[in-house]
Structure 1
Amino acid sequence: MSREQDDLDMTLGSGIAAFESKQFSRAAGLLAPLAEQGNVDAQYRMAIMAQNGLGMLPNPLLAFSYMKAAAKAGMGVAQHGLAFMYMQGECTDKNPAKAVQWFKQAADQGLIGSMTTLALMYEQGQGVEKNLDEAKRLYQLAGF
Structure 2
Amino acid sequence: MNQTPDDQSMALASGIAAYESKQFSRAVGLLRPLAEVGEAQAQYRVAIMAQNGLGMQPNPLLAYRYMHAAAVAGLGLAQHGLGFMYLEGECTAPDPQRAAAWFRKAADQGLAGAQSILANLYEDGRGVPQDPAEAARWRALAGFDER
What TM-score comes out, normalization by structure 1 length?
A: 0.96
How far apart, in 2, do the equivalents of 1:4 and 1:113 lie? 36
Matched, 1:108 2:83: no
Give the C-alpha shift of residue 72 in structure 1: 0.4
The residue type equivalent to 2:93 in the other structure is: D
Give the C-alpha shift of residue 12 in structure 1: 1.1
Q: Residue deviations 1:85-128, cap 9 Å, x none?
A: 00000000000000000000000000001011011011001011
Number of equivalences: 142
How far apart, in 2, do the equivalents of 1:92 and 1:9 lie? 31
Stretches (4+) displaced over 4 A: none
The residue type equivalent to 1:9 in the other structure is: S
Give the C-alpha shift of residue 129 in structure 1: 1.2
Matched, 1:87 2:81: no
Matched, 1:70 2:70: yes
The SS at the match of 2:129 is: coil
Q: Which residue of 1 aligns with 2:44?
A: 44
How far apart, in 2, do the equivalents of 1:38 and 1:111 lie? 23
The SS at the match of 2:4 is: helix
Q: Which residue of 1 aligns with 2:34?
A: 34
Q: Residue deviations 1:47-77, cap 9 Å, x none?
A: 0100000000000000000000000000000
Q: Which runs of 5+ in 2 are unaligned?
A: none
Q: Identity across aligned pairs (percent)?
A: 63
The residue type equivalent to 2:129 in the other structure is: E
Q: Which residue of 2 aligns with 1:6?
A: 6
The residue type equivalent to 1:118 in the other structure is: L
The residue type equivalent to 1:29 in the other structure is: G
